[in-house]
Amino acid sequence: MPVLATIDLEVDDLDALVNAKKELMDPVAGPLFAENGHLWQLVVRTDGGVRLLNLWNDEAGRDRANSDPRLVAAREAVLERTGAEASYASYHVLAIQETTPS
């Protein structure tokens, strides 16, 4: 069953967070996510920082990727560099509807 994982990052310096994600997290996460059934990521601005929404094929793939020591180290490096506070949640996806332009 697909799962949507969310990460809320509260931070004062949004530019520093975006740059740290690109530099420290993305090079590690990209290949690791591809190997473990990651489908897409959406990053949106919130009042206090950003929210990342990650759609996975299943919980097992999400858990394998998120427990990989390389990803854990990258996540910790981003949080340490930016002082961001993170909160995590996951939701089972009941339906996905794609809209195709007519």
* Contacts for 34 with CB less than 8 Å, ≥ 6 apart: none
d(CA 36, CA 24): 19
Q: Which helix (H) or strand (E) holds 86?
A: strand 85-92
Q: State the CATH number of the domain containing residue 67.
A: 3.30.70.100
- State how many domains the chain has: 1
pLDDT in tens, 40-95: 999 999 999 999 999 999 999 999 999 999 999 999 999 999 999 999 999 999 99
Res 41: pLDDT: 95
- What is the domain range of residue 53? 3-92
* Residue 60 lies inside a defined structural domain of this protein: yes
* Residue 14 lies inside a defined structural domain of this protein: yes
* Residue 17 lies inside a defined structural domain of this protein: yes
* Residue 81 lies inside a defined structural domain of this protein: yes
* Residue 99 lies inside a defined structural domain of this protein: no
